[in-house]
Structure 1
Amino acid sequence: MTKPSNSTFSLQILTVFLISLSCFKLSQCLKSEVEALLEFRKHIIDPLNHLESWKDSNSDSDSPCRFYGIHCDQEMVTGISLDNLSLSGEISPSLSALRGLASLALTSHSLTGPLPAELSKCLSLKILNVSGNYLSGSVPDLSVLTSLEVLDLSLNSFTGPFPGWVGSLTSLVSLGLGENSYDEGEIPRSIGELKKLQWLYLANSSLRGEIPESIFELEALSTLDICINKITGRFPASIAKMRKLFKIELYSNNLTGEIPAGVANLTDLEEFDVSNNQMHGVIPKEIGSLKKLTVFQLFKNNFSGEIPSGFGEMQHLNAFSIYKNAFTGVFPQNLGRFSPLNSIDISENRFSGPFPKYLCQNKSLQNLLALGNDFSGAFPDSYGDCSPLQRLRVSQNRLNGSIADGVWALPNVQVMDFSDNSFTGRVAPDIGASLQLTELMLSNNRFSGELPRELGGLALMERIYLNNNNFSGGIPSQLGALKQIASLHLEGNALSGSIPAELANCPRLVDLNLASNHLSGGIPRSFSIMASLNSLDLSRNELTGSIPKDFDRLRFSYVDLSDNRLSGSVPRYFVMVAGDKALAGNDGLCLDEDEEEGKKRKFTDSALPVCVHQRNGHESLIKSKVAMSCIILVTLIVFLVGLLFVSYRNFKKGEADGRMGDEKDVLPWKLESFQQVEFDVDDIYDVDEDNLIGSGSTGKVYRLDLSKGCGTVAVKQLWRGNGVKLMAAEMEILGKIRHRNIVKLYACLMKAGSNFLVFEYMSNGNLFQALHREIKAGKPELDWHQRYKIAVGAAKGIAYLHHDCSPPIVHRDIKSTNILLDEDYEAKVADFGVARVADQSSPKGSEWSSFAGTHGYFAPEMAYSLKVTEKSDVYSFGVVLLELVTGRRPVEEEYGDGKDLVYWVSTHLNSREDVVKVLDAKAVPQLLQDDAVKVLKVATLCTSKLPNLRPSMKEVVKMLVDAEPGAGLRSPDSAGRSEKGVCLDLSGDGF
């Protein structure tokens, strides 16, 4: 065997050394990357355990490539792909140690905190996508990452300046910066340097000014999305140079001008949306030649003229929405004939002529909205075959004739609105096949015939409006099977027969109007058990009999029984609720003479006569001589009574002093004290009526200056009857809790059948009073800073009840009159007479037999259920926030019949201009409008229709604190965040 030479041996040793060194470095590299990933994992909350494989094995040679979502190249981490895994926590700067990292995708989580500036050390990054999180703070300067091809920071909570440095990332193909809360600024011209850019998403980014011309040099761009900003100027004619565009999203800006004919040169264009701007003019007829068009939306502008006939020849058109413009002429009759049209909204224009009949030719149409035009003639029978149709609204036109049976029977229709036309004919029994129907609106037509009993089989029905037609026959008793119905309007027809008692079986019925018919018989006794009923109109019928005695259990906000033939005594409390006008035209009604003395005094102004009860069923005829004797006798009695009254008053004055002395001696006070305060208990019993400061459903409240200079307190004298129960409720709640935003209960006293509660005195009264007081003409007492302070204080008080009391306490009557203000305008929640301790054993809340709350503040679920959770308080508090923001009352005539402040505000949320109109201009100067809008956002979350969509009070407090002037606001959940790149406008069907 030949012995190796010295040089060969040396080479072998060097090779072994280099291999060993390489292995050592690789081992160290692997260990470093594992450590970096594990450090990242420490800061992440993973509720579904997707990152279970991310563990330290204590092996120097163990590879990070075994971790879930990690991609490697030759044992080096090159990619992290963790999308949509419900992760939360923060992004650790430790990821900057992954020097080979080329792709970082952490989309659609709940990650918070800043985006680490240390990521700029990952010079190999080509993809950085953290969209759909809650990342905050300023976007760090990442301009050194010149290899980036995809940068998506959209749908987060970034603040600070718009990242203008992106113009240096010339390799970018996709750029998403939208849906963040940057400082207001302009689009940087440098974006025009990104010549490779294909996707640009800048939606809702606080951008103003005009679109820089440089952007129109991006000839590779296919998606241009700058919607929901404050972009101004004329619609850019230069857009015609971007021949590869297939999507243009510029809706909800302040663009003016016309659509240039050059847009027709964009032959790849599929989606075009410039809705909600200030544009005008006609649609160039050349636009009708865009063969690939699928979405065309111009709603809420000032366009006019006719729709080009070329739209009728399109073969891919899916969505067409042009409502709230001034288009005229005959609508293209062929539109939809050759395309898979899914949704069309042409409402609130001036189209005339026949109604288009081919919109559902390809059996794809789900939404057909054409209300508020001037269409005439018949509604085409062809829509009877449009089985996918879900929303059908053609109200406020001049359509006539009858509706085809097949239309009544559409199997998927949810909303059917033919109101305000001149339709005739019947409602076919085939309507029983429309099992998805929730709203049926046929008002103000000339429909006739009997109401089909099949209506009672539509289990999802919520609203029926058949008023002002020619319907006849009886009201079907089958309507009593509608368990979801909230509103039933049948007024202004020729219905006859009795009112079905079965209607009382509708547990969610809030609004019932049967006025102006020929109904006879009595008011069903069963109506008195309808706890949900809030508005009842039975006027102008031929009803007889008495008003059910148990009607005083119902809490009506509106009731009208006038112009019938009702008779008998009016139930207790009912006259106060209904008023004389609601009972007028019923000559047989009278006030019961057996009312309690206190109740009688409340009825003294009523026009109704007092009931006269006959005894033994016998009345003798009174002769003139006897009548004269009676008159003389009555005169003598009056005279004697006058003398007795004077004597009695003198006697009582002397007796009162003696009686008070006797009671003090014989009947001792029953006192329970909760807070340290010195007062003479006898002062409580002698409160002066001159010091009355309020009166409500539970009692009177007096201001009392304590003797010996011990300050001032508020004394509530509870009404007799329920006084003990109400006192027990307030003692149970307020006697145990302590919070600076809950009114203090000092003591409870009982003596001689009277019940008193002693509270701290709030010198500025209640919030409702303060909101509607003026310091001087035109200047409200409360400015925005005070209103904000009150909002936060009240929220903290309610949050304490919900989250810090064990078990939680539900107030059940949150309203502005129950929020009191001290001398510094600190808010304190008061009046716990109907509050209850929540039943934590029931996940759906507690059910209480007594109905509580105030009209205008009721959560929607209270219309059909007595199960109350903390979310009912959240809704009521949301109404209070709306009062603070708008300066309006919860219920006003301006809102419309049966409407409230929540509804009114909801009609003003379609644009920034409308939102500003909601704000109380006297209290919210222009400088503070953005701050007030933040609180308005919180209010709209609180007043969500569904309880599970409302935030908790703890979340409400956090959002309000974040809404302090100068602070950013971020919702606790993703409610209201639209999907990236999708145009969402929920107001299009907006009546």
Structure 2
Amino acid sequence: MFHLFLLLLLFLSPPHPSLSLTQDGLILLHYPNLHLPDWNPLDSTPCNWTGVTCHPTTSAVTALNLSNLQLSGPFPTSICLLPSLSSLSLSFNNLNSSLPSSTFSSGCARLRHLDFSQNILTGPIPNTLSSLPNLIYLDLSFNNFSGEIPASFSHFRRLESLILVNNILNGTIPFSLGNVSTLKTLDLAYNHFLTGTIPKSLGNLTNLEGLWLAGCDLVGLIPSSLGNLNRLQNLDLSRNMLTGAIPETLFLGLKSIIQIELYENFLSGELPEMMNVTELERFDASVNGLSGKIPSELCKLKKLESLNLYDNKLQGSLPECIAGFENLYELKLFNNTLKGTLPSDLGNNSMFQTLDVSYNHFSGEIPANLCGGGTLQELMMIYNSFSGRIPESLGNCKSLIRVRLRNNNLSGTVPEALWGLPHLYLLELVENSLSGSISNAISGAKNLSILLMSRNMFSGSIPDSIGLLESLVEFVASHNSLTGSIPISMVKLSQLDRLVLSDNELSGEISEGIGEWRKLNELDLANNKFEGNIPKELGNLPVLNYLDLSGNHFSGEIPFELQNLKLDLLNLSNNQLSGDIPPLYANENYRKSFLGNQGLCGGLSGLCPRPTFGENKNTKYVWIFRFIFVLAGVVFVVGVAWFYFKFKNFKKMKKRFNMSKWRSFHKHGFSEFEIVKLLSEDNVIGSGASGKVYKVVLSNGEVVAVKKLWAVNKVETESVDSEKDGFEAEVETLGNIRHKNIVRLWCCCKSGDNNKLLVYEYMSNGSLGDFLHSSKKCLLDWPTRYKIAIDAAEGLSYLHHDCVPPIVHRDVKSNNILLDSEFGAKVADFGVAKFFRGVSQGAESMSVIAGSYGYIAPEYAYTLRVNEKSDIYSFGVVILELITGRPPLDPENEDKDLVNWVTSTLDQKGEDQVIDRTLEIKHREEISKVLSVGLICTSSLPITRPSMRRVVKMLQEITSVPKSRSGRFSPYYQEEASENDHQGNIV
């Protein structure tokens, strides 16, 4: 009846200008929200319209592919009136209603392929879908379908693919699905089913080639009946709460399995014998509770390419047969309790790209030919007991990108060629017994960004050639026996962020020209033999946060320019300094910073020797002190009188901003009262939804930014969700974190009548958004934009990975990324930030949407579920802004959002039409790679977005990472766990 009613409406509708258009064409024109520019009602047939496929002889519409066309509104039910329609795809649109059951009970009878993925469809899945007798492919993934999987799905007779990934389905997995014997692909991943087990009936699906049940809240044992699936190629049971051992019978029938992923469960018990699974190419049982030994039956897997058993409780040694796998390119065993030696011929026959055995108890020598195939990119062996020398052959491994050998018992010299590998990004040799000197060959390591070699026995001088490493960001060589001076050539290292050379035998003066270290955040030269004056140029380093020059022979006065720095740590103790302490540091908070300098005088008692009074001089000194006390008394009386008159004039202001309400988070040299006096309308530099921002120039010359929040009444406060208001969130967040890429909150004030002030460091170039979307955009060349992207990524990475608990910003956008005078970027505005104590459990639900249009992740916008992946999507939009120069919503293009514009333009016109034309063409390759990072971050599927730590790594390695094999990872979880789980401070 429903479709008869639609037909009646169709015939009663006003006639189109053309009477020759076929009935199928009239049906397609019935829904205005489907109309595309070339759907012309004057055509005789719709066969040449976008997305339409017709029968070659009858011109009947047989297929509609309207994917990724920004269609919105409800599902166009009249489509099912097309009598010959066999394929319908409406994926990657914004359809936002429920699917009427009646639509499929009497229409779409010839459908074989139905794809509604990546929309905003809601409500239950229609149980009438199973009445489509010819349906072979059904994809409803990445929507908001709720309720249970219909029991009627057991009636499908031809269905081969059922894909329901990433909805909000509940209930349990129906036992009756085991009756759909034609199924080849069953994908139910990332639905929060009620706690239940894997139905044993799935073992009846003997045609099944892919079974994905990741993230389904499953418990209990893996049913042994899955061993009946002898055509299974992909099995993913990851991110559940399964227990017990992997059943041996699982491997008895799997003759052609290609991928098994059982990671991120709570499995326990020993790994079973692998039996006859001789076709296995990828075996991943990582992040479980597996115990026992790695079974020797693994040797039967001659085609094995990837073996991931990390984050378990595995014991024993590594089977010798591992070395015989010719196709093995990935071996990750970190975070277990494995012991013994590695097979001596490991790598001889394999094409390793990644080898990670960190955090185990391996011992013995490192196998000599790990890079036998010439493809090894990442070698991670940290926190073991490896001994002996580093193999000379590693120096010939030109493909190496990351080498991490810290905390072992390695000795001898580092192979000379290893210092100079051309693609090497990270070399970590910390906590060994290595000796010898840093080779001049290091000049060849043009891509070296991080060099960590502390706590060894290195000697000799730092070679001048180290100044050729333009990409060097961190150089940490403390606790060695290095001698000589810091090479003058090192002043050229403009990217240097950390320089730690403490506890060596270095000498000489600090070279002039260190003012070029504009990005230096930490300088630690403690406990050496440096001499001469402390350079005034140190005071001009804009982001220097940590300065330790203690335990040396520095002399002369402390440069007053050091007051320009915003230091979290200053240590000049145990030198030969003299003169006055700069006023900013002449207080008790910095006492320990100046101890052990005999000639140092200032306002701190006890730093300078007390004068001794002889008996013949007592009278003279008594009169001197009497005079001083009288003078002090006069000054005190005058001061009290001055304060009284000033207090009367300031009484009203004090009522509004009570000093007892001020809280400081960093050491600063200004008065809070002075800030309140300077809050005039002439100093306003910005105004927004939360309040006004003032630029305040203080009497000591320092400039700060002050945000005065609008007063919030009780009703407004209660209308906000139960989270803290913007002031409390900002204070709780910025008051407890320290990072060079997070804007500093100096202090804050909250008075009883809802007046609130936040005092920040002043960022002279304003926000990235203001710069990027104005006439000043031409000042942002590509190297500047690239560095801004890295700075902002490092700030967000700190929030997500280094804060406990992690912090989700929730309003990442270009206007909340501020730029200093050198275009260094810092993340700001934490008014809606959230301490995310539930990250390990998944997304946390919010009661209202926080964020800005154009930046809000799709899943957040229509489910209110938020985690760190929401920030990553927003950051991806910022990357696209940097590359395109366009705003997140384009008012000249019907407010089309930037992500969709970029993806559609790339598909239709290519990269040239996406990249900002003001950027120089010589940077094209680098821009293209950064664009790829932005597109990954803005993936509509949260699980495929990389972590921020991974984003930082990808951006930093953007010019040097060689291509590796593709298609080897799960389509739902591509992030490399080893990057996140044991990386420490290394990115």
TM-score normalised by length of structure 1: 0.71
Alignment of 1:206-217 (within 5 A): 206-207=192-193, 208-217=195-204
In structure 1, give the amino acid aligned to 2:58: E
Alignment of 1:13-92 (within 5 A): 31-38=22-29, 42-43=33-34, 54-56=38-40, 58-59=42-43, 61-64=44-47, 67=50, 69-72=52-55, 74-80=57-63, 82=65, 89=72, 92=76
Equivalent pair of 1:148/1:169 in contact (CA under 8 Å): no
Equivalent pair of 1:793/1:828 in contact (CA under 8 Å): no
Unaligned runs of 5+ in 1: 1-23, 45-50, 614-622, 662-679, 703-713, 719-726, 766-780, 799-810, 851-855, 888-907, 917-929, 960-970
Equivalent pair of 2:795/2:827 in contact (CA under 8 Å): no
**Paired residue for 1:173?**
159
Equivalent pair of 2:269/2:291 in contact (CA under 8 Å): yes
Q: How many angstroms apart in 1 are the aligned matches of 2:319 and 2:554?
A: 56
**Paired residue for 1:163?**
149
Distance 1:67 1:527, change over 3 A: closer
**Paired residue for 1:218?**
205
Deviation at 1:504, TM superposition (A): 2.9
**Paired residue for 1:201?**
187
**Paired residue for 1:834?**
763
Q: In the alignment, is residue 590 of structure 1 matched against residue 570 of structure 2?
A: no
**Paired residue for 2:429?**
442
Q: How many angstroms apart in 2 are the aligned matches of 1:95 and 1:583?
A: 78
Q: In the alignment, is residue 546 of structure 1 matched against residue 533 of structure 2?
A: yes
Distance 1:493 1:323, change over 3 A: same
**Paired residue for 2:545?**
557
Deviation at 1:225, TM superposition (A): 1.1
Q: Pick the aligned partner of 2:376 from 389, 398, 408.
A: 389
**Paired residue for 2:965?**
none
Alignment of 1:865-876 (within 5 A): 870=815, 872-873=817-818
Q: In the alignment, is residue 95 of structure 1 matched against residue 95 of structure 2?
A: no
In structure 2, give the amino acid aligned to 1:790: G
**Paired residue for 2:866?**
934
Q: How many angstroms apart in 1 are the aligned matches of 2:305 and 2:256?
A: 16
Deviation at 1:296, TM superposition (A): 1.0
**Paired residue for 1:790?**
726
Equivalent pair of 1:885/1:932 in contact (CA under 8 Å): no
Deviation per CA, 1:919-961: give whole Å up to 9, x if none: xxxxxxxxxxx99972544345567899559999989xx99xx
SS in structure 2 at match of 1:95: helix
* Structure with more contact order per residue of length (Cα contacts < 8 Å, sep ≥ 6): 1
In structure 2, give the amino acid aligned to 1:62: T
Distance 1:638 1:828, change over 3 A: closer
SS in structure 1 at match of 2:88: strand
Deviation at 1:125, TM superposition (A): 0.9
Q: Pick the aligned partner of 1:185 from 146, 171, 175.
A: 171
Deviation at 1:391, TM superposition (A): 1.0
Q: How many angstroms apart in 1 are the aligned matches of 2:763 and 2:707?
A: 17
**Paired residue for 2:662?**
693
**Paired residue for 1:741?**
690
Equivalent pair of 1:102/1:127 in contact (CA under 8 Å): yes
Distance 1:612 1:931, change over 3 A: same
* % identity of equivalent residues: 19
Q: Pick the aligned partner of 1:482 from 455, 461, 469.
A: 469
Distance 1:629 1:154, change over 3 A: farther
Equivalent pair of 1:395/1:421 in contact (CA under 8 Å): yes
SS in structure 2 at match of 1:515: coil
Q: In the alignment, is residue 346 of structure 1 matched against residue 333 of structure 2?
A: yes
Q: In the alignment, is residue 274 of structure 1 matched against residue 240 of structure 2?
A: no
Deviation at 1:32, TM superposition (A): 2.7
Deviation per CA, 1:212-255: give whole Å up to 9, x if none: 23222222222211112200111111212223322221111100
Equivalent pair of 1:786/1:825 in contact (CA under 8 Å): no
**Paired residue for 2:240?**
253
Equivalent pair of 1:129/1:150 in contact (CA under 8 Å): no
Q: How many angstroms apart in 2 are the aligned matches of 1:758 and 1:434?
A: 49
Deviation per CA, 1:524-555: give whole Å up to 9, x if none: 33334422111222112111122212323334
Equivalent pair of 1:318/1:342 in contact (CA under 8 Å): yes
Q: How many angstroms apart in 2 are the aligned matches of 1:782 and 1:160?
A: 30
Deviation per CA, 1:260-301: give whole Å up to 9, x if none: 12122222222222122122222222x143111111111122
**Paired residue for 1:416?**
403
Alignment of 1:116-127 (within 5 A): 116-117=99-100, 120=104, 121-127=107-113
Equivalent pair of 1:365/1:388 in contact (CA under 8 Å): yes
Answer with 244-253 or 877-886: which moved more.
877-886
SS in structure 2 at match of 1:192: helix
Answer with 68-77 or 754-763: which moved more.
754-763
Alignment of 1:729-878 (within 5 A): 731-734=683-686, 737=687, 739-743=688-692, 785-787=721-723, 789-790=725-726, 814=743, 833-834=762-763, 836-837=765-766, 838-839=770-771, 840-841=774-775, 843=777, 860=794, 870=815, 872-873=817-818
**Paired residue for 1:619?**
none
**Paired residue for 2:447?**
460
Deviation at 1:100, TM superposition (A): 1.6
SS in structure 1 at match of 2:132: coil
Answer with 523-532 or 233-242: which moved more.
523-532
Aligned residues: 817
Distance 1:551 1:345, change over 3 A: same
Deviation per CA, 1:73-126: give whole Å up to 9, x if none: 54344533538767554664442332221111344x354434653752212111
**Paired residue for 2:928?**
none
Answer with 70-79 or 637-646: which moved more.
70-79
Distance 1:282 1:139, change over 3 A: same
Equivalent pair of 1:591/1:611 in contact (CA under 8 Å): yes
Q: How many angstroms apart in 2 are the aligned matches of 1:272 and 1:754?
A: 61
Equivalent pair of 2:473/2:497 in contact (CA under 8 Å): yes
Answer with 748-757 or 164-173: which moved more.
748-757
Q: How many angstroms apart in 2 are the aligned matches of 1:496 and 1:578?
A: 28
SS in structure 2 at match of 1:152: strand
Q: Pick the aligned partner of 2:438 from 444, 451, 455.
A: 451
Deviation per CA, 1:121-179: give whole Å up to 9, x if none: 21211110233455555544443542243343354232321432551441243333343
Q: How many angstroms apart in 1 are the aligned matches of 2:868 and 2:749?
A: 21
Q: How many angstroms apart in 2 are the aligned matches of 1:936 and 1:319?
A: 29
Distance 1:825 1:170, change over 3 A: farther
SS in structure 2 at match of 1:104: strand
In structure 2, give the amino acid aligned to 1:143: L
**Paired residue for 2:491?**
504
Distance 1:821 1:199, change over 3 A: farther
**Paired residue for 1:984?**
974
In structure 1, give the amino acid aligned to 2:256: D
Q: How many angstroms apart in 2 are the aligned matches of 1:782 and 1:585?
A: 56
Deviation at 1:592, TM superposition (A): 2.1
Q: Pick the aligned partner of 2:940 from 974, 981, 988.
A: 974
**Paired residue for 2:605?**
none
Q: How many angstroms apart in 2 are the aligned matches of 1:35 and 1:792?
A: 58
Q: Pick the aligned partner of 2:287 from 300, 303, 306.
A: 300
Equivalent pair of 1:570/1:591 in contact (CA under 8 Å): yes
**Paired residue for 1:966?**
none
Q: In the alignment, is residue 912 of structure 1 matched against residue 844 of structure 2?
A: no
Equivalent pair of 1:452/1:476 in contact (CA under 8 Å): yes
Deviation at 1:645, TM superposition (A): 3.2
Equivalent pair of 1:438/1:463 in contact (CA under 8 Å): yes
Deviation at 1:507, TM superposition (A): 2.4
Deviation at 1:377, TM superposition (A): 1.8
Q: Pick the aligned partner of 1:645 from 614, 632, 635.
A: 632
Equivalent pair of 1:943/1:950 in contact (CA under 8 Å): no
TM-score normalised by length of structure 2: 0.71
SS in structure 1 at match of 2:630: helix
In structure 2, give the amino acid aligned to 1:192: G
Q: Pick the aligned partner of 1:430 from 410, 414, 417.
A: 417
Equivalent pair of 2:379/2:402 in contact (CA under 8 Å): yes
Distance 1:859 1:395, change over 3 A: closer
